[in-house]
């Protein structure tokens, strides 16, 4: 207990407390910036992804505040990536790639279209119609617009 007229030297305590507060304010400032500002470069994506991963590792439960920050950072990364000009992959090339990934033959897609039609689509001789686009979307569990040429 402290007595009213005693003089105590708290300078070391205040010094340590000041250091903690400076570190805390820097960390909070960084989190606010990472969660609320747009990403401008690939390097920023990597930096924020690293922080996001660390926050996710820190979470002790599903409603942990660090997960809220991690998800907000993920939203900024997703916004940056969706705003990038992604090269458009032609539907035949996309379909061919999906077939290769899943080790499918043209005949495996007979529920969507006959083998000869699949062949024509893959060779660029025929465009995918809406019914076929819906069939491919369902088969590959992807959005229909992935199979519609623009």
**Which of 65, 83, 101 is a domain's end point?**
83
Mean pLDDT calculated for residue range 16-20: 59
148, 128 in Cβ contact below 8 A? yes
* Residue 50 exposed, middle or buried by CB count within 10 Å (0-12, 13-18, 19+): exposed
User: Cα–Cα distance between 38 and 35 in angstroms, integer?
Assistant: 8
Supply the range of the domain harboring residue 36.
Answer: 11-83
* Domain assignment of residue 70, yes or no: yes
pLDDT in tens, 101-135: 999 999 999 999 999 999 999 999 999 999 999 99
State pTM to two decimals. 0.46
**Which of 83, 111, 126 is a domain's end point?**
83
Q: Say if residue 113 is in the same domain as residue 65.
A: no
Which of 23-32, 34-43, 89-98, 121-130 shows the lowest per-residue confidence on average (mean pLDDT)? 23-32
Q: Interhelix angle for 115-122 vs 91-101, to 10°?
A: 120
* Domain assignment of residue 6, yes or no: no
pLDDT score, position 138: 93
Long-range contacts formed by 46-55: CB under 8 A, 24+ apart: 48/73, 48/76, 48/77, 49/73, 49/77, 52/77
* Domain assignment of residue 3, yes or no: no
pLDDT in tens, 6-16: 555 666 665 66
In this structure, is the dihedral angle defined by the CA atoms of residues 87, 88, 89 and 90, taken in order, positive or negative? negative
Q: Say if residue 16 is in the same domain as residue 42.
A: yes
User: Cα–Cα distance between 52 and 140 in angstroms, integer?
Assistant: 30
Matching residue, tokens 């062949």: 119
User: Cα–Cα distance between 59 and 119 in angstroms, integer?
Assistant: 50
Q: Say if residue 19 is in the same domain as residue 79.
A: yes
Q: Say if residue 78 is in the same domain as residue 138.
A: no
Q: Say if residue 19 is in the same domain as residue 68.
A: yes
């Amino acid at each position: 207990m402290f007595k009213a007229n005693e003089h105590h030297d708290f300078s070391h305590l205040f010094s340590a407390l000041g250091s903690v507060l400076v570190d805390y304010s820097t960390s909070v400032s960084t989190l606010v910036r990472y969660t609320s500002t747009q990403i401008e470069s690939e390097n920023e994506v990597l930096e924020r992804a690293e922080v996001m991963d660390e926050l996710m590792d820190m979470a002790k439960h599903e409603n942990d505040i660090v997960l809220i920050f991690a998800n907000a950072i993920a939203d900024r990364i997703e916004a940056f990536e969706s705003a990038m000009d992604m090269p458009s992959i032609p539907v035949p090339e996309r379909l061919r790639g999906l077939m290769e990934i899943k080790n499918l033959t043209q005949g495996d897609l007979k529920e969507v279209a006959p083998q000869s039609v699949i062949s024509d689509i893959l060779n660029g001789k025929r465009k995918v119609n809406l019914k076929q686009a819906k069939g491919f979307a369902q088969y590959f569990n992807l959005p229909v617009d992935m199979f519609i040429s623009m």
